[in-house]
Structure 1
């Protein structure tokens, strides 16, 4: 089975390959093709993968190419993990937004809109190429903003594109752990929303919802990441456990101030950190896997550091430093390729799941997965406060898609202005001015 990874020179690709190395079942991936625009990054990642596979018999064969069509032909699965504009683009997203006093995070608020505006046209081109060159392939989208990009690609690939994120998985794992549920596979996680905008409303084990026990115990609530971020009182008021990214909404002023006062934004940190890694890989004698492991450990430990500092949450727990999205991807591939039916929280088209949104809107919910793809499970309606946020952010996503399709600068301004974390037409206009100055990928807006 052939797997093509777009953005194959990306830093997190070895996580995916590591998961593939542990899969010994019949029908596993035997060929991995890495595609990237940067041959140097491809070479660096290929070296890491070679060291990972050194002691593994029959490891999937790895090849690399800068030719997109070549990479796609004959693929059974395509992982889209591109970053249009690179980490320099992410750093610019943050800088321009913070200069206007709004959030520049890569998936939330102004930064997420800017990233979406330059990514959607590229993602649409990829979707069209997949439809032409590998019509039977399944596309698994890692590219942020994951829900928005998945929806853009679904307009050309239908249900054959599925978005994944490790954030809901990590949240469910932490809740299960604090409740003493040792096997999370036995738990049903009632999670619903959009990517990076969802809530756990229940965790059922053997038919019993264990979440009320957690919400009733301030000590337990304050013992894990989300409890430390949001505070037990707020979680009890919500009656649910929000995705960690909702910290940017519920504590927006504090988050913006923390990012403005930080020595370096997250994007700038990752840009500089990964530049050192790729520079180190120019030395053919460097230990590639060791350098990658060291860089990854630092990356994971500093994740959402500003938010945790604002909340006084302290360091991340050791159990939360192991990643997870690669495990979701492998489970998804297995379910589709081998009809190993499973339940995963995924980004898929709404169909009739949430009545507040139309059928084509991509949402993030538990799905039953089999050889025919991912099928969203019916969920209870959202409470009013969550409904308002979901509808507002989905409306912004639709304006981003419209702007990307039409090239309309006015529509792009509308997308910024309507976002609840921007809420100013004048700020939206200044954001567009700032972003078009630093991003060549936004020159299509007129």
Structure 2
């Protein structure tokens, strides 16, 4: 029989989650936190969003979406359903659940930077109370929850699994994917103790169709890394195949389409100008860094990373060669980059290879502009700076460039118009047939 003194907080918490009377606190209202907020509001919970960006908080409280692919109507509906945003961390005690969705980037040495997670934890801890569940969703190396968050809670006098509950549940958002939504994507969850896991299952089971329990927070942390490293390695393979096919004058996209007709044993991955987004270019480094603690060298993963990291340089080489064949130097040439978001039909430019292409071309003396209907003004970025606005695509504007570099294949682009008026197109996404006279595959 369970000791009532050890389960009173757990029973109270799971009861409130079951009855939808719990307050859900979402810390970090970006590409992960905002969809999660919408889902909990839709499920009938009062949601308190906490973010350090005052402008974003004001925008959300007006019922407006700060993210292009998330509809303002959905945010306005959440406001009607008792969602409120704030910059005030002292209000953390109002929440029964605190879900942390903050960035985990790399530092200048390509090592994990947990400053956002740790600063957030340190800002929340003074205002936490018994009976709360704290969930970390930010992608990180195995051991982060146990080694960083657990000691901080214990230093406050909390007993993990008795009066507060600690879980890790990796985010699985896929911005712009119309086929999967927060509710329908299965949620992996690991707890610091069995009671913590029970609290985590209650938290996510109240809003997500399927919750997948694992044995520990470390297993949950490694699950997320495996998912993204699997993709990174396969993309690295197909990028290397692209280079081989190019040298053999074979269209790699034709080959992938043909291979994908095999009904078993093959999953199609597609090449591109490099990796983008917050997860795939970064997550492998979290594991390789942690693996060194165990005396392991992740050769296979690092090789794929080298191939993917080199793709922007390879693409720029194709641009240089294509211009040379037309009697032009890249220095002084006008280059229009199509799409600076890291994937099609969204406005997220984090780690976008398009932006690296722009810098590499600018460094070679090209005059670089961009066109992206989802990013009307070049955003503030930590590593890249351009004072540019998106170019409107008209017959005259397209024709004014020496080369159009197709980097992100947004659905909104008029590809027939671009093909008709662009003197030269370097296509990194396989949009155009290879046989066209003004098309170069990259």
With normalisation by structure 1, the TM-score equals: 0.36
Task: Select the structure of larger CA radius of gyration.
Answer: 2
Q: Which fold has the larger relative contact order, with Cα–Cα distance below 8 Å and residues 6 or more apart in sequence? A: 1
